[in-house]
Amino acid sequence: MTATGGKSYLNFNYIYKYTFKKRKSEVRTELKRQRRILIVRQDRVGDVVVTTAIPREIKEQWPDSYVAVLVSFYTKDIYLNNPYVDEIIINEDLQWKGAREFFSRVSFIRRFKFTHALMLLPSESINYLLFLSGIRHRYGVGYKFYQFITFVKGISRHKYIPLRHEADYCMDLARAIGIKSSNIIPEIYLSGEEREKVRNIRKYFTEDGKIAAGIHSTSGKSSPNISVSSYLRIIKELQKTGLYKIIITDNNVPELLQNLEGVDYPNRNSGLRDSILNLAALDFLVSASTGPMHIAAALRVNTISMFCTLTACSPILWGPLGNDSIIITPDDNYCGNKCSGDPKSCMFENEGGIEIQKIIDSINLVSKKIRNKNSIKTTG
């Protein structure tokens, strides 16, 4: 069982040594005064990215607090090098089989002496784990029965009326413990070494003055999208201009887009942190509403994103934050009428959907701004 703080991984022995370096009475006094907060978001990339404002806002208001996050093994890279996070605990390490393992996990969490837990995604197993770990102040989304019997304070989303951003709903749990903030802009932090690596990647992407155009064609069936063949048409149109270096950012590239001449595939079979660095080197990213879009926004990379207008997929709820972005949606009566309404199967290909030319026009608009900005830098 491990947790990571900054670049290092911690275990029971570390916690034991840290705790008993000081006299027990000193440690108890220190921990009693300190707010020790655990933020739990154990699902997908985009869902975790939109939570990254919470540790920052907690530390801004309570700089002496201790903040840990509980995330999945894959998404931990989103929080690496985050100056506002003291610890990263891996969700998979808290899984158990049988009572003995369960109480071992309880003991592990107890050693952190958390005073508050913000459970941003309902989970019955994590709910019981944190309850038995002695965390006095626990906050969760909604009012499920298992939350009621373990005295979790439920925070309602009021049936999403009025509709707000997911990051804002998540911040509601921090507000419930006293954080006074409306700043929900996400951030991903790079080390000095990583920033230098991004500069080198960008030099390669933008050689001969080309614009680094990122294309992310898949969405993990989490949101509506255009077809792979439509992405291929966009790539071909951009290549005709000679202005762009095309970078396909998918980890698993669809067969139709593989081995295209003049196209780079830097994220193929890469880990999340390497993918983050490659996304940071782009001028813009074209995609559906998906994790890489949120990563790009948190890195202040321009995004051109396709969204459904139904509440569950709305750009009001899931749009990019903190960057320059263009949102493209189908006609008002398209979603739920001319498509299935199911993000796992819905496509923007039918009449009234999203036309390829509309995407290309948006790319041209962003590219013009980038060229003008680069021209100012050169003359300056």
215-237 confidence digits (pLDDT tens): 999 998 888 999 999 999 999 99
Strand order across the 244-248 sheet: 263-264, 244-248, 211-215, 284-288, 302-306, 325-328
pLDDT range class, residue 378, cuts 50, 70, 90: low
Q: Count the Cβ atoms, other than its own, within 10 Å of residue 266.
A: 18
Q: How far apart are the first and last CA of the chain?
A: 53
Which two structure tokens, joined as six digits, stand for 284? 């813009």
For the residues 236-253, what does the mean pLDDT come to? 97
Q: Which residue has the higher pLDDT, 312 or 113?
A: 113
Tell me which amino acid residue 212 is.
Answer: A
Q: Which residue has the higher pLDDT, 118 or 3?
A: 118
- 153-168: pLDDT as tens digits: 999 999 999 999 999 9
Which two structure tokens, joined as six digits, stand for 133? 């770990």
Is pLDDT above 90 for 335? no
Q: Given this model, what pLDDT does residue 76 score?
A: 97
Is pLDDT above 90 for 344? no
- 49-66: pLDDT as tens digits: 999 999 999 999 999 999
Which two structure tokens, joined as six digits, stand for 135? 């965390």
Percent of the chain with pLDDT over 70: 89
For the residues 203-207, what does the mean pLDDT come to? 96
Across 3-17, 71-85, 254-268, least confident range: 3-17
pLDDT range class, residue 17, cuts 50, 70, 90: very low
| Separation of alpha carbons 157 and 62, rounded Å | 26
| Cβ atoms 43, 121 nearer than 8 A | yes
- 96-144: pLDDT as tens digits: 888 999 999 999 999 999 999 999 999 999 999 999 999 999 999 999 9
| Separation of alpha carbons 65 and 371, rounded Å | 44
Q: Given this model, what pLDDT does residue 18 score?
A: 43
Is pLDDT above 80 for 377? no
Percent of the chain with pLDDT over 90: 78
| Separation of alpha carbons 156 and 152, rounded Å | 12
Cis peptide before 162 (omega within 30 of 0): yes
- 278-294: pLDDT as tens digits: 999 999 999 999 999 99
| Separation of alpha carbons 137 and 110, rounded Å | 14
Angle at 250 between CA 246 and CA 252, to 5 degrees: 130
Which two structure tokens, joined as six digits, stand for 140? 């969760």
Domains along the chain with CATH numbers: 3-176 (3.40.50.2000), 192-379 (3.40.50.2000)
Q: Given this model, what pLDDT does residue 221 score?
A: 80
Q: Given this model, what pLDDT does residue 334 score?
A: 85
| Separation of alpha carbons 130 and 128, rounded Å | 6
Q: Given this model, what pLDDT does residue 30 score?
A: 53
Is pLDDT above 60 for 13? no
Q: What is the SS3 assignment for 32-82?
A: HHCCEEEEECCCCHHHHHCCCHHHHHHHHHCCCCEEEEEECCHHHHHCCCC
Name the DSSP letter for residue 4. Answer: E
User: What are the Cα distances from residue 146, in Å, to 42, 155, 210, 211?
Assistant: 18, 14, 55, 52
Q: Given this model, what pLDDT does residue 338 score?
A: 76
User: What are the Cα distances from residue 92, in Å, to 8, 33, 272?
Assistant: 18, 31, 17
For the residues 75-104, what does the mean pLDDT come to? 94
Tell me which amino acid residue 370 is.
Answer: I
pLDDT range class, residue 373, cuts 50, 70, 90: confident
Q: Are β-strands 66-71 and 36-40 bridged in parallel, bridged antiparallel, or unpaired?
A: parallel
Average pLDDT, the chain: 91
